[in-house]
Amino acid sequence: EAKHVAIVGATGAVGEEMRLCLEQRKFPVGKLTVLASARSAGKRIPFAGQDVIVEELTHDSFAGVDIALFSAGGGISKEFGPSAAAAGAVVIDNSSAFRMDEGVPLVVPEINPAAAKNRPRGIIANPNCTTIISLMALAPLHEVFGLKSIIASSYQAVSGSGAQGIIELEEQVKAIATGQPFEPKVYPRQIAFNVIPQVDVFTDNGYTKEELKMLNEGRKILGHADLKVSCTCVRVPVYRSHSVSITAQFERPVDVEAARAAFAGKPGVKVVDDPANKVFPVPLDTTGKDDCLVGRIRKNLVLDNALDLWVVGDQVRKGAALNAVQIAEIL
Ligand code: 2RA
């Protein structure tokens, strides 16, 4: 039956995409409440042929709300998530605030949907986009070959930094094309025509928080406590899709044909892999689309029982908004 849905952070890149996904997937929305900072209150947002007025987010914004989708940063989720849950809403949080908390399921619907049922705090966490996109390729292989370790390098779109990241890339490209000066604001260095080996902050072991998410979240989502992961996360001048180069080592012997066959019938992921004919996944193919694409599947030349592969997915969509709406759909 129709649900009263709230979107917190409705005017951000992910919040906008959440609204689009609800519309496009004909989610049974009886009422949509869109919540944002006072700055955005009063804005009109189109939804299902009508205009919804943005309301200022307060602790009392959740009366009667069935599902509250959060994507406004960890601070807002920490402060207002519990109030939404206390008001009886199921909170689906896109931030990293609760992902590793006991009693908060971390869910990719194609991989561990049942986990969403056990939510003692009324909160379900949406994994990090790079984790989701990587696991959409690795989960089917894990089923067949038994995943042991992941060595990965990510090529992350600027949309991961929100609308401001997209604007920064656009402005720098224009400035460079017209010989205008510019000052990097979102990133420590120029991102246009460059790559930056830092996503999120560095921790004391030399890895960034983003790189450790793949390890910690991967273990929780797969229920695989001794999965090993070593990751390098890089920001690249791409607008909306993340790409990940993966070396995955397995318990059992692997071969490419069996690997490709593992994806047959798996929702949300497609094999696009015919390098001889220049057929492989690229960000321009996944942007705005639901499916993650996997290609360049080949046996690793160094490690036993290991495959190299390349997976690409829309960071804003499957990496965040679509995954959250799919969790709402399984509720
Ligand atoms: C990023 N995955 O790409 C992080 C947060 N979306 O910046």
Complex ipTM value: 0.97
| Percent of the chain with pLDDT strictly greater than 70 | 100
For ligand 1, the distance from its centroid to the CA atom of residue 329, given in whole angstroms, is 24
* Lining residues, ligand 1, CB within 6 Å: 128-130, 156, 160-161, 199, 210
Instruction: Report the nearest atom of ligand 1 relative to the CA of 157.
Output: 3
- For 119-133, the pLDDT digits (tens) are 999 999 999 999 999
Ligand 1 centroid, distance to 292 Cα (angstroms)? 17
Q: What is the pLDDT of residue 244?
A: 99
Between CA 150 and CA 323 the distance in angstroms is 22
Between CA 280 and CA 18 the distance in angstroms is 28
Q: Residue 199: which pLDDT band, with cuts at 50, 70 and 90? A: very high
Q: Which of 42-51, 105-114, 171-180, 307-316 has the lowest mean pLDDT?
A: 42-51
Kind of pairing between the strands at 228-235 and 147-156:
parallel
33: CA distance to ligand 1 center in Å? 26
| Half-sphere exposure (Cβ direction) of 53: Cα atoms closer than 13 Å | 5
Look up residue 218 and give its amino acid. Answer: G
Active site residue 129: yes
Model-level pTM?
0.98
Can you give the pLDDT at residue 180?
Answer: 98
Q: What is the dihedral of CA 225, 234, 153, 159, to 10 degrees?
A: 70
User: Is 298 annotated as belonging to a binding site?
Assistant: no
249 is in an annotated binding site: no
The catalytic position among 21, 129, 233, 292 is: 129
> Residue 280 and residue 296: Cα distance in Å, rounded?
7
Residue nearest to atom 3 of ligand 1 (CA): 160
| Contact in structure between 118 and 199 (CB atoms under 8 Å) | no
pLDDT for position 205:
97
Question: 7 C-alpha to center of ligand 1: Å?
Answer: 19
Mean pLDDT of the region 63-89? 98
The string of pLDDT tens digits covering residues 226-253 is 999 999 999 999 999 999 999 999 999 9
Selected catalytic residue, list 21, 231, 242, 292: 242
Predicted local confidence at residue 4, as pLDDT: 98
Phi, psi dihedral angles at 203 (to 5 degrees) = -110, 180
Q: Which of 323, 283, 32, 62 is nearest to 158 (CA)?
A: 283
Residue with the smallest CA separation from ligand 1 atom 7 is: 160
42 annotated ligand-binding residue: no
**Residue partners of 183: CB distance under 8 A and separation at least 6:** none
